[in-house]
């Protein structure tokens, strides 16, 4: 049965993915031509929308060549962040059509924003069809190219909840990856190790339990999850509950200790049956190895794909040597709720871009603070240099600032590849939470007002090694105790959870640990600044962000703790 499923999957995905792979190669052969064609297509698609009329898309389209096209586009369309586009999205959310693009979104993806209001990223039918339809087929086809037995067993794919709620006009908001999995072909659905209802389990420990109780029973050959911290938490769950898994597998049950809504439990239990043979195998593995790892219970795994770039690489050492040496560990690719930029096709970190579906612009790292920077086209990028990307899509994002720093890799065909370095402009992320400096400042100010504890100075640092934030407070009253400080810190954490949905998700899922609280000595900022100036910093140009990933500055504040 497994061989038959693999042959069917390889044949169908090889055909469908192969066609789209050839289209990708063709687009990447001439990025200059592809970029012009794509921008014209997007502008033509949206020219009669409210945004298109306000920004003279029809005039821009009259340009005779690509140079004039880009000049007019830059002249008429400003660089945008989400807040600039929010009024247009709100009109869509309340039922209006033809605002950012023709018609209305088919769904929204939600993610954290710079304010307490999350971003509602519109997804159009065209975007869903192209990026999560055609290019996902290339992604799956590429798995087969790299490991032809990748679909010989089951797929453990960790995605978000399909439906989180509804916009005022009834349009769904939720996980695009969940929708993609829900709507995938039947022959692929048959390969998943668990039913989709698992992703609706509210309690993360329970969700991890079910994912692993069902997954560990089967021969998993492919794991797909964007965030490597999820792999760490799944194995932590195994370390705690292995014996419970085995008992459940033996009896065909699902532990009553696990908190699962009755309707979801009923659906899950219908999938289970006693499997004493597998239970015996798992017990034997524990007797042999003691600490049971994926390479023991999934020895045939072919491919694991997660992010490996930016700060996520700190998790890689946490499961080093946990998987079979023969397994391909592939970078997930540069990917965000706002835009799936491309795909990784090999064993490097480099994302191959989609110039036939997105229009890309870039600002060089050294020019990012310039109020009038030069915007580079895709074919102008230099390998080894770093840039901030701006994207225009078929889903209503126009010259959208991704606030990321990318490094340019070698070319695929004639198109540069990219990989993620870090977030920029006051955004810090340890495991995908994208915490904004202004959110941290607002949270501290609110708690100070609510508690009456006046804070003279405060600062926060990302602790990558321990997957947590370390917050430092200088209270006006130096007699504030450590216990009071920690209570203050817990309240800040709660406000951040209310403010930033990604932060809450990472805290609830245990991927982001409890923040640590520290009291600073009197005049801590003044002492810090004096130390920096003594090392050569210029007094007149001295600037300090209040939320950072910077171990050199962090070390100085560690010395100022009471």
How far is 224 from 250, CA to CA, in rounded Å?
27
Calculate the alpha carbon distances from 71 to 213, 403, 440, 457 in Å: 57, 23, 38, 46
Are residues 455 and 444 in contact, defined by beta-carbon separation less than 8 angstroms?
A: yes
For the stretch 232-285, pLDDT in tens is: 989 999 999 999 999 999 999 999 999 999 999 999 999 999 999 999 999 999
Is the residue at 286 inside a domain?
A: yes
Q: What is the pLDDT of residue 438?
A: 86
Kindly state whether residue 143 falls inside one of the protein's structural domains.
no
Buried b (16+ CB within 10 A) or exposed e, 154-165: bbbbbbbbbebe
Contact 72, 40 (CB under 8 A): no
Do 342 and 400 share a domain, yes or no? yes
Q: Residues 67-96: what's their mean pLDDT?
A: 97
Pair 286, 354 in one domain: no
* Domain-located, residue 485: yes
Number of domains in the chain: 3
| Mean pLDDT, residues 27-33 taken together | 97
Which of 278, 301, 324 delimits the end of a domain?
Answer: 301
Q: What is the pLDDT of residue 343?
A: 96
Instruction: Give the global pTM.
Output: 0.84
Cα separation, 549 vs 65, whole angstroms: 43
Same domain, 478 and 535: yes
The three-state secondary structure class of 330 is strand
pLDDT at 413: 96
Other C-beta atoms lying within 10 Å of the C-beta of residue 245:
23
Give the per-residue pLDDT at 508.
93
Mean pLDDT of 405-421: 96
DSSP string, 22-57: HHHHHHHH-HHHHHHHHHHHHHHHHTTSHHHHHTTH
511 DSSP 8-state letter: S
Give the domain extent around 441.
Answer: 427-558
Average pLDDT in the chain: 92
In a domain, residue 132? The reply is no
Contact of 363 with 375, CB cutoff 8 Å? yes
- Checking if the pLDDT of 2 tops 70, the result is no
Quick check: is 148 in a domain?
no
Sheet holding 303-306, edge to edge: 154-157, 220-224, 303-306, 328-331
> Given this model, what pLDDT does residue 550 score?
85
Tell me what pLDDT residue 1 has: 60
Tell me the C-alpha distance between 130 and 134, whole Å: 5
Domain assignment of residue 144, yes or no: no
In this prediction, residue 12 carries a pLDDT of: 72
> How far apart, in whole angstroms, are the C-alpha atoms of residue 5 and residue 152?
7
Q: Verify that 458 and 536 share a domain, yes or no.
A: yes
β strands within 241-295, DSSP E: none
Residue 538: pLDDT above 60? no
- Judge contact between 173 and 167, C-beta under 8 A: yes
Q: Is 297 helix (H, G, I), strand (E, B) or coil?
A: helix
- Do residue 50 and residue 105 come from a single domain? yes
Interhelix angle 551-558/524-534, rounded to 10 degrees, is 130
Looking at 423, 440, 461, the residue that finishes a domain is 423
Q: Please determine, for residue 471, whether its predicted confidence score (pLDDT) is greater than 90.
A: yes
DSSP string, 65-121: SHHHHHHHHHHHS--B-HHHHHHHHHHHHTT--SSSSSS--SEEEEE--SSSSPEEE
């Amino acid at each position: 049965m497994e061989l038959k499923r693999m042959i069917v999957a390889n044949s169908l995905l090889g055909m469908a993915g192969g066609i789209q792979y050839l289209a990708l190669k063709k687009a990447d052969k001439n990025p200059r031509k592809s970029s012009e064609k794509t921008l014209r297509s997007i502008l033509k698609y949206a020219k009669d929308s409210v945004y298109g009329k306000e920004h003279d898309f029809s005039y821009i389209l009259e340009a005779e060549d690509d140079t004039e096209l880009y000049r007019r586009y830059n002249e008429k369309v400003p660089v945008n962040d989400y807040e600039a586009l929010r009024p247009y999205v709100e009109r869509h959310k309340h039922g209006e059509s033809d605002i950012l693009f023709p018609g209305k979104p088919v769904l929204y993806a939600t993610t954290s924003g710079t304010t307490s209001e999350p971003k509602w990223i519109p997804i159009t039918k065209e975007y869903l069809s192209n990026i999560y339809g055609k290019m996902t087929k290339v992604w799956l086809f590429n798995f087969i190219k790299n490991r032809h037995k990748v679909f010989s067993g089951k797929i453990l794919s960790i995605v978000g909840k399909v439906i989180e709620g509804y916009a005022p006009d009834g349009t769904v908001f939720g996980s695009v990856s969940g929708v993609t999995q829900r709507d995938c072909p039947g022959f692929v659905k048959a390969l998943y190790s668990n039913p989709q209802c698992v992703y609706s389990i509210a309690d993360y420990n329970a969700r991890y339990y079910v994912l692993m109780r069902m997954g560990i029973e089967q021969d998993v050959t492919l794991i797909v999850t964007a965030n490597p911290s999820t792999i760490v938490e799944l194995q932590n769950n195994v370390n705690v509950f292995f014996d419970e898994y085995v008992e459940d597998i033996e009896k065909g049950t699902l532990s009553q200790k696990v908190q699962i809504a009755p309707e979801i439990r009923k659906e899950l239990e219908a999938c289970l049956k006693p499997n004493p043979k597998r239970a015996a195998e798992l017990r034997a593995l524990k007797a042999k190895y003691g600490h049971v790892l994926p390479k023991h219970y999934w020895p045939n795994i072919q491919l694991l794909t997660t992010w490996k770039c930016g700060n996520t690489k700190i998790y890689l050492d946490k499961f080093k040597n946990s998987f079979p040496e023969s397994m391909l560990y592939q970078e997930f690719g540069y990917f965000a709720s706002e835009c799936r930029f491309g795909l990784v096709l090999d064993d490097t970190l480099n994302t191959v871009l989609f110039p036939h579906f997105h229009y890309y612009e870039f600002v060089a790292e050294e020019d990012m603070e310039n109020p009038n920077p030069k915007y580079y086209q895709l074919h102008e990028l230099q390998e080894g240099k770093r840039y901030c990307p701006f994207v225009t899509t078929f889903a209503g994002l126009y010259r959208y600032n991704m606030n990321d720093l990318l490094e340019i890799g070698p070319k695929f065909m004639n198109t540069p590849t990219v990989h993620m370095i870090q977030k920029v402009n006051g955004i810090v992320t340890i495991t995908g939470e994208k915490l904004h400096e202004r959110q941290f400042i607002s949270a501290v100010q609110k708690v100070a007002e609510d508690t009456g504890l006046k804070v003279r100075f405060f600062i926060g640092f990302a602790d990558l090694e321990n997957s947590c934030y370390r917050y430092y407070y200088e209270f006006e009253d130096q007699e504030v105790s450590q216990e009071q400080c920690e209570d203050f810190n817990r309240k800040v954490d709660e406000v951040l959870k209310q403010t930033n949905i990604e932060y809450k998700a990472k805290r609830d899922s245990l991927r982001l640990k409890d923040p640590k609280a520290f009291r600073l000595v009197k005049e801590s900022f003044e002492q810090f600044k004096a130390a920096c100036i003594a090392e050569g910093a210029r007094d007149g140009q001295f600037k300090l962000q209040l939320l950072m990933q910077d171990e050199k500055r962090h070390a100085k504040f560690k010395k100022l703790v009471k």
